[in-house]
Structure 1
Amino acid sequence: MSDTVHSLSTAGLAPKKQIQRWSDALTDLCGQFNVDPLEASSLEGRINYTTVSRLKLCQIEASQHRIAHSSAQSHSSEHPYVKILFQTQGISYFEQNGFQIQVKPGDCLAYDVSCPHTIISPALTRHEVVIVPKELLRERGFHFGRMYACKLSARNGTGRIAHDFVHAAFDEANRLSANSAVGVADSLIDLLLLPLREADTAFDRVGPEAMYVRAQAFIREHLRDPELSIDQISAALGCTKRYLHMLFSERGMTVSDYIWRARLQHCRQELESHGGKTITDVAFSWGFSSSSHFSRVFRKCFGVSPSAIHRGQVGGIAPDVT
């Protein structure tokens, strides 16, 4: 027989013990996380979980909270999983690699657990989760050189079929023989990959949202390169310049706007930190090739000169460009 359904709850525990219980539960399932109930006096949570062959299936409900897997905890050997999350109630905000994804009921989110990330749920949330060992996906051609989180729809099409199958597999898990569990797990993985492959995530092409995330990540990784250009970005991502322009224009900016605003933000942060560098050193280290041009665009963006920031006359950090 397959594994039975296990349940865990924080009900009846003191607040500190609730947090420890929730943290321990998450660690047992897929890795170490920091847990914060935000401004609530308690963390009310419940997890029902089972296994089907090597897959872990979970039904999770929790009051407002924040969980974080930090870079200090990021060891892929300790978090060798991809998590497929189906939101069924409430709204969550997933943050990873400098971008945020809002997850609502009917959404499916797929992401690499080993990469640092944060999930904030301002109110009660419920979701169903499949925790998949990466090696099972590698066998099916899924690449992990750089997997970007991707939000898909579970309201229709292959996403809905995959969710329905997950729900049925959870309900029937304790009735499956060992051989049947292996077959169900194989079928479930193939079903889960269908919406991801339709979005072309982590394969030769990607859907619009995933492509925008990839473009953001590539820009951030090469932000110090003064030769960074839309030609370089489109070539690296395997898409046309026109398509890249469209992705950014839909979000109210050009590719160049995004690059320069990101550079300016980093420059301001360095100037405020008083790291001993001159204004020119900071500007040139972030891809600017002219001090006068840097001062002009800096003042236009922030309404103050870089020298004023450098002298500590103005505090604060510029808003993120995402």
Structure 2
Amino acid sequence: MSDTLGSLTTSGLSPSKQIKLWSEALTDLCGRFDIDPLDASTFDGLINYTSVSRLKLCQIEASQHRIGHTAPRIRNSDHPYVKILFQTQGVSYFEQNGRRIDINPGDCLVYDVSCPHSIVSPAFTRHDVVIVPKELLHERGLGVGNLSACKLSARGGTGRIAHDFVHAVFNEADKLSPNNATGVADALIDLLLLPLRDADMTLDRVGPEAMYVRAQGFIREHLRDPELSIDQISNALQCTKRYLHMLFSDRGMTVSDYIWQARLHHCRQELENASGKTITDVAFSWGFSSSSHFSRVFRKYFGIVPSAIHRAHGGASSVVSP
């Protein structure tokens, strides 16, 4: 079943408790915000929420208010999300980086939650929200370092399809098994990205080909490091191990295969250049930690033992090749 399914309302609470409850709810969903009911004596709000794998889906309605956070007290790590908001009733005014965007029913707003912003709703509003962890965008080769808030239409086309699917997922979330929830979440985020691409939204364009080139570059720079690992590469590139595996498997190899093959080619080049090093020295200088393992994989890959190459180019082997 879905990770979380619930509802909360400020109805019946004192004004101070209404603001406290709403603030705590938002903190649980996507980070801490300042909330101002404007000139109203009370704040009426209702949130229905659910989680589908790593996505959070909400249906929110609220009386007049202002919500936001400011630069002096915020850290990017406090709000590591991109929010996709579908306005279904009322009008809101969004401000971020000196820009103001008016949001009307049928509009969809996409923005980086970590960047200071405010949303003013002068009267009752209702909207559907999908909260997307930034790591899901990284997995798809998209960076959000320069993400600019973008308003799209959900009245037709891919925007309408995406909004309809959000509704369907929300309504069926409690019926999904964990495995199905993961598949549905993947399909939903890919569908949500369609209208963004249609609008040529400003995202860091780090597509699969560019990311693969970056991975190759990092591996080359650290090829001599015997501790070079998939974890180290994925952390450096800020992508998941799953995405990294996909980049290389699409090209017919594993990440480990690529690393070992690159090391073997460098070792053979040094052996052929008669560098004066022993076979063990060459192997260890390129990240191998076992002479016998090096000889075995070298012979398997090239069809010849390293000592034969070494002798042919005037070297003296210190490895007994099987």
Q: Which runs of 4+ in 1 moved over 4 A?
A: none
Deviations 1:38-97 (A, max 9, x none): 000100000000000000000000000000111123211111000000000000000000
The answer to whether 1:166 aligns with 2:153 is no
Partner of residue 181, structure 2: 181
* Residues 295-314 of structure 1 aligned to structure 2 (within 5 Å): none
| Partner SS state of residue 47, structure 2 | strand
- Output one character per residue of 1:123-161: Cα deviation in whole Å (capped at 9) or x when no partner: 000000000000001111222121100000000000000
Is 1:135 matched with 2:135? yes
Partner-residue secondary structure (3-state), 2:76: coil
How far apart are the structure 2 equivalents of 1:28 and 1:129?
14
What is the CA distance between 1:4 and its match in structure 2?
A: 4.6
**Which piece of structure 1 moves more, 13-22 or 195-204?**
195-204
- What aligned pairs does 1:235-274 form with structure 2 within 5 A after superposition? none
**Amino acid paired to 1:87:** Q
For structure 2, the residue ranges without an aligned partner over 5 or more in a row are 206-322
**How many residues matched?**
205
Return the offset for 1:203: 4.0
| SS of match in other structure, 1:26 | helix
Give CA-to-partner distance per residue, 1:11-45, whole Å, 9 cap, x none: 00101111111111111100110000000010000
Tell me the residue number matched to 1:151. Answer: 151
Q: Distance in 1 between matches of 2:54 and 2:73?
A: 24
- Percent identity, aligned pairs only? 72
Counterpart of 1:186 in structure 2: which amino acid?
D
* Structure 1 Cα separation of the partners of residues 203 and 84 of structure 2: 17
1:64-79 matches, within 5 Å, as 64-79=64-79
Q: Would you say the 8 A contact 1:82–1:134 is kept in 2?
A: yes
Gap change, CA 1:177 and 1:12, over 3 Å in 2: same
Relative distance call for 1:22 and 1:204 in structure 2 (3 A) is closer
Structural mapping, 1:198-277, within 5 Å = 198-203=198-203
Is the alpha carbon distance of 1:126 and 1:34 closer, same or farther for their aligned partners in structure 2, counting shifts above 3 Å? Answer: same
Equivalents in 1 of 2:145, 2:131: separation in Å? Answer: 19
Q: Report the counterpart of residue 107 of structure 2 in structure 1.
A: 107
What TM-score do the two structures reach when normalised by structure 2? 0.62
> C-alpha distance in 2, partners of 1:113/1:203?
15
Q: Radius of gyration: which is bigger?
A: 2
Q: Return 76-85 or 66-75, whichever deviates more.
A: 66-75
The residue type paired with residue 61 of structure 1 is E
Report the secondary structure of 2:26's partner residue: helix
Q: Structure 1 residue 59 and structure 2 residue 59: aligned?
A: yes
Local SS of the residue matching 2:180: helix
Q: Does 1:38 align with 2:44?
A: no
- 2:23 matched to which residue of 1? 23
Please state how far the C-alpha of 1:104 moved relative to its aligned partner: 0.5
8 Å contact kept, 2:147–2:204 = no
Aligned AA (2:183): G
Q: Unaligned 5+ residue runs, structure 1?
A: 206-322
Aligned to 1:197, what secondary structure does the other structure show? helix
Instruction: Return the letter of the residue paired with 1:59.
Output: Q
